[in-house]
Amino acid sequence: MFELHKPLRGTPLWAGRARAALLLVLLVALLPFTFAQAFDSGRLLEQCLRLEAGGDFESARQSCLNALELEPGNNTTVLALARLELQLGLTGSAENRLLQLRGRGAGAEPQILLAGIAIDRNDLARASGYLDDAERELAAAPDAALAARLSEQRGRLSERRGELQDALGHYRRAAASEPLEAGYYLAGARLLLQLGLPEAAAEELQQYRTVSGQRGDAALHALRGQALWAAGELRAAAAEYEAAYVLRAGRDAEAQAQDLRNLAAIYYGLGEIRDGNAVLSDSLGRGNLVQLFAGNALLWLLLLVALAAVHLVNESRIPQHRSAQPVDGPLQWSIGKVYSVLFTALLVAVLAVALWSALAAGNYLAFLTPLQADATKAVFLISFSIVAAAGSIISVRRHGWNAAERLLGEGGQIVPGVLWGLLLLVIAVVWQRFVPAGLLNPAWHLELSRLSGLTVAALVVLPFSELYFRAFALPAFEKRYSGNMAVFLAAALYALVLGTPVLLSLVIGVLLGLGFLRSSSGLYVISAQLVLQLGMVLLQIVSPGLVPPAG
């Protein structure tokens, strides 16, 4: 038999008992410290969650970091910290924390947040995998709030894929799961606006008010104002924007300035000039006015300056005294004639937009109105293209040329033009697909996700403006300057008239100019432009997610 608790040989019995007693005393002494540490960690976590709910994300993050130092393995703290870092734009750190939680099997929320990050990066396959994992987690442990967030992320995923009806269904399921969460109704309303259904968008937001019994925050008022504005209900829209402005209460100066600018446009659209002036004057004192000229507008202004600078520099290099050479036969038209046709076409197009706005839209500033702005842009492009092409033909005839031969060229250039247009189409799709949206990649010049009769007519008529931009303007520039300068100047005019996307339009204009120099055929560039425009429409119909929607 073994002897239990037998002291080691040579060790007195009292010494072993003393060591055991000392160890017991140390354990008893450390217990209060351990409990205090756990208590402090829990209190800091509670403070973190309270600050997060109040929107003070920076202070909440600091509380969570302090709690994590005291209790490093707390999944709830790590998850809250990841949420806060996402709010603060610290995506890399948040993603690392969420991946750790995913490895620990911390439930559905980390998967949902990781899916949101993947959608922002356009990694749609990975996002779908995360959402599938989250759905399996929720099947094992149901949670209505997380189910609603899962539906919201599925809506975002479908929206990125161009599956807009599916996205709307997901947003509405999210709202049904959490009917008091305004964000799900906002997502659905924005999508309905994108689909060209402003009345339905306004009703979507009104449904939130009916279910919740609340009017909603400033964002809801502003979006409903936008929907009513697009639907032509200007008075009701003005009331919503006024409420949004009051609710912001100085917390977001730029958003307040945007509300006031929209309100001013509505008043002007109603013909109430005095009220519009007052509101616009107030908006100028709020927000950052530089943002009005950021992005595509800034590029447009820079291109306009560059156009003027190229003309001035090249004119300064031309000798002032040159003997006139007698010319037999037809004469080359001048740069002055090019700009004369341009300004005439622009003036007629602006008048056409004004008439359409007053008579068809009942809104004097329809070109600033959501949804209606796209229709006015189509009216502008149709009018400009027709007048510019007609003006080019008339000028060429007056200078003694056969307009068909001089501007159109040989019919055999149509097939090469189609091939050149396919190249332009590939460039446009790659640009819009892979260049991040913003300064370098704003929306296409017409909204392709909601085609109307005016939009289709504009896309068909626009290629005939190539008779002006390439067949008429480019030879005059080339005669005065050089081939490269001529190509740039014609491309710059083309990009300025289209308005957006400026940089991509400039690239396309340069390629069309090079094609014209090689072929000397208007049919070549008309067919290339037609393939580009109708190709974009076809791709939008066949594969809606291939080309990102405007806005």
Report the distance separating Cα 421 and Cα 411, nearest Å.
16
Is 323 contained in some domain?
no
Range of the domain at 187: 179-289
Is 19 contained in some domain?
no
- pLDDT confidence of residue 72: 81
Give the 3-state DSSP-derived string for 361-422, with helices as H, strands as E and coil as C.
HCCCCHHHCCCHHHHHHHHHHHHHHHHHHHHHHHHHHHCCCCHHHHHHCCHHHHHHHHHHHH
Is 277 contained in some domain?
yes
**Where does residue 400 fall: left (phi above 0), alpha (psi -120 to 50 degrees), or beta otherwise?**
left
Average pLDDT, the chain: 86
Both 392 and 340 in one domain: the answer is yes
More confident residue, 253 or 167: 167
- pLDDT confidence of residue 293: 58
Both 471 and 361 in one domain: the answer is yes
- pLDDT confidence of residue 34: 45
Both 197 and 340 in one domain: the answer is no
Give the model confidence (pLDDT) of 96-117 as tens digits: 988 988 888 788 999 999 999 9
- pLDDT confidence of residue 279: 87
Q: Do residues 477 and 490 lie in contact, with contact meaning Cβ atoms separated by under 8 Å?
A: yes
Both 311 and 425 in one domain: the answer is yes
364 class by beta-carbon count within 10 Å (0-12 exposed, 13-18 middle, 19+ buried): middle
Question: In this model, does residue 476 exceed pLDDT 90?
Answer: yes
Both 251 and 311 in one domain: the answer is no
Is 245 contained in some domain?
yes
- With cut-offs at 50, 70 and 90, classify the pLDDT of residue 119: very high
What's the mean pLDDT in 152-157? 95
Out of 27-31, 54-58, 424-428, pick the least confident.
27-31
CA angle 435, 437, 442 (to 5 degrees): 105
What's the mean pLDDT in 459-480? 95
Instruction: Give the CATH number of the domain where residue 253 resides.
Output: 1.25.40.10
Instruction: Report which residue type is found at 441.
Output: N
Q: How many residues appear in the chain?
A: 551
Number of domains forming the structure of the chain: 2
Is 148 contained in some domain?
no
- With cut-offs at 50, 70 and 90, classify the pLDDT of residue 448: confident
Is 281 contained in some domain?
yes
What's the mean pLDDT in 139-152? 92
Both 384 and 520 in one domain: the answer is yes
Task: Tell whether the torsion through CA atoms of 444, 448, 452 and 453 is positive or negative.
Answer: positive
- pLDDT confidence of residue 189: 95
Report the distance separating Cα 276 and Cα 274, nearest Å.
5
Q: Do residues 161 and 153 lie in contact, with contact meaning Cβ atoms separated by under 8 Å?
A: no
Of all residues in the chain, what percent are helix, strand and coil, respectively (each to 5)? Answer: 75, 0, 25
Out of 16-25, 119-128, 308-317, 498-507, pick the least confident.
16-25
- With cut-offs at 50, 70 and 90, classify the pLDDT of residue 186: very high
- For the chain, the first-to-last Cα distance in angstroms comes to 86
- pLDDT confidence of residue 39: 47
Both 374 and 484 in one domain: the answer is yes
- pLDDT confidence of residue 30: 42
Out of 116-125, 137-146, 295-304, pick the least confident.
295-304
| Beta-carbon contacts of residue 103 (< 8 Å; ≥ 6 apart) | none
Question: In this model, does residue 28 exceed pLDDT 60?
Answer: no
- With cut-offs at 50, 70 and 90, classify the pLDDT of residue 78: confident
- Scored b (16 or more CB within 10 A) or e, 348-360 reads bbeebbbebbeee
- Scored b (16 or more CB within 10 A) or e, 147-172 reads bbbbbbbbbbbbbbbbbbeebbbbbb
Both 300 and 232 in one domain: the answer is no
Q: Which two tokens stand for residue 320?
A: 């002032």
Residue with token string 């730029």: 254
Is 52 contained in some domain?
no
- pLDDT confidence of residue 5: 47
Both 261 and 306 in one domain: the answer is no
Is 86 contained in some domain?
no
pTM above 0.85, yes or no: no
Q: Do residues 466 and 522 lie in contact, with contact meaning Cβ atoms separated by under 8 Å?
A: yes
Q: Which two tokens stand for residue 185?
A: 């109704």
Question: In this model, does residue 483 exceed pLDDT 90?
Answer: no
Question: In this model, does residue 175 exceed pLDDT 80?
Answer: yes
With a pLDDT cut of 90, the percent of the chain lying above it is: 51
Question: In this model, does residue 317 exceed pLDDT 90?
Answer: no
Both 350 and 374 in one domain: the answer is yes
Both 269 and 307 in one domain: the answer is no
Both 303 and 226 in one domain: the answer is no
Q: Centre a 10 Å sphere on the Cβ of residue 7 and count the other Cβ atoms it contains.
A: 12
Out of 2-11, 50-59, 369-378, 533-542, pick the least confident.
2-11
Question: In this model, does residue 61 exceed pLDDT 70?
Answer: yes
Task: Tell whether the torsion through CA atoms of 239, 242, 248 and 249 is positive or negative.
Answer: negative
Question: In this model, does residue 287 exceed pLDDT 70?
Answer: no
- With cut-offs at 50, 70 and 90, classify the pLDDT of residue 439: low
Q: How many CA atoms are closer than 13 Å to the CA of 357, on its beta-carbon side?
A: 26
